[in-house]
Structure 1
Amino acid sequence: MSLTPAELTILGLVIEKPSHGYELEQVIERRGIREWTDLGFSSIYYLLGRLEKRGLVTAEPSAGPAAGPKARRVFRATGAGVAEARDATLALLSSTRPSFSPFLTALAYRPLVGEREFTAAVRQRRDALAAQIAAVQGARAAQQPLPPHAEAVFDYSLHLMRAEKAWLDQAGKGDDTA
């Protein structure tokens, strides 16, 4: 069974450093991981539970002052978890999958809207994307220095967003008199 991107994200973080759920949330926030993956705070423990049931992580109570009956559980990757994460990473790196963007659906039905409406909507998307690019650049700058793999995530994401913005710049040059 393959890992979802959200499962791989959580498992990868646990492989980097055994952690409890709140620590994972802090790393996700600090690294700006939500800028490139759909991973909510409430899903962290759910995903850890799924990974534990599959034998990809184990959990044990944390040691130290928080120990006791309500101690946080520290999750560690198992050998099977590391192997599964490695296989999932290689599969995602080497294969292409179609992008099922709702934007592509809207483009397919562009004839349903007039040229003026299309141009206005595309310009609105372009402006929102420009703001998103600025936010990702800010998150990236706030994280310096970054490990090379984290830098690659930001770099790739920014390239994709800039490519879409360039396309939107061209598509948004409609005739305003229509």
Structure 2
Amino acid sequence: MKRRKVGNLLALAILSTLVERPMHPYEMASVLKARGKDRDMGIKWGSFYTVVRNLGKHGFIEAVESSRDGARPERTVYRITDVGRDELLDWLRELLAELAPEETKFVAGLSVMAWLGPDEVITLFRARLMALDEEIERFRVGLARLLEEIPRLVLLEAEYQLAMRMAEAEWVRSILGELTSGSMPGLTDWRTFHETGVLPADVAELAERGSTTS
């Protein structure tokens, strides 16, 4: 992935909004919220004006006019520049075509999951699966309702999110099956470790090897 001058995904959201027409920051934020982009891109609104300033600093957007309505703060209207439009299109091509590692909290938990016992993990996975199934059903209903009014083309990100949640649920369900049936490789050693506190020999060897090479 390319290192960008303004790499916050909020910058991408702002550029994609200004490509339609010039707007002032409050209007940009309102449009993004109305379209659910804060959910799609994990937007942190506290950095909104900083990102706007940085986009201006690097020439991706420019101020076209300022106005004041009574005692309200001055509002500056921005438009996207040719450089900004090129940045938007290049960024979109990269995001859609190239793979990028996504470090999620769930992935982080999985990476050190073995410190919990198998029975507790089964309980936790069952709780996660129940939450996933409930979320998927809500998502399905909401997406179906939106599709009655909005073209599918502008809802593909929601469709993708639903597909990813469904895939995650299927994976969690399969791991639960292995854990509860006892078919998961290494399950006996994992259970023994939590009963005795002694690492299996092969795991201890790997841990020792890692400590001597770091």
Matches within 5 A, 1:21-60: 21-60=25-64
Q: Deviations over 1:33-82 (max 9, x none)?
A: 2322110222221211110111101124456x838983311221011000
- Larger RCO, structures 1/2 (Cα 8 Å, 6+ apart): 1
Question: Matched residues in 2 for 1:72 and 1:135: separation?
Answer: 38
Q: Between Structure 1 and Structure 2, whose CA radius of gyration is higher? A: 2
Structure 1 residue aligned with 2:176 = 172
Q: Which residue of 1 aligns with 2:118?
A: 115
SS of equivalent to 1:74? strand
2:198 is matched with none
Aligned residues: 176
What root-mean-square deviation, in Å, do the aligned CA atoms of Structure 1 and Structure 2 show? 2.8
Aligned to 1:18: 22
The C-alpha deviation readout for 1:103-160, integer Å capped at 9, x for no partner, is: 2232232221111211121122223333443454455434753355421111111111
Change (3 A) 1:67 1:78: farther
Q: Over residues 7-57 of structure 1, what are the superposed CA-to-partner deviations in whole Å (9 max), with x where a residue is unaligned? A: 111211111232222222222222122322110222221211110111101
Residue equivalent to 1:105: 108
Q: Which residue of 2 aligns with 1:130?
A: 133
* 2:31 partner SS: helix
- Whole-angstrom distance in 2 between the partners of 1:24 and 1:81: 16
Which residue of the other structure, out of 91, 95, 98, is the alignment partner of 2:98?
95
CA 1:138–1:105: 2 relative to 1, 3 Å: same
Residue identity (%)? 24
13-22 or 128-137: which moved more? Answer: 128-137
Name the structure with the higher helix share: 2
Q: 5+ residue gaps in structure 1?
A: none
- Work out whether residues 30 and 143 of structure 1, in 8 Å CA contact, stay in contact via their aligned partners in 2: no
1:145 to 139, 143, 149: 149
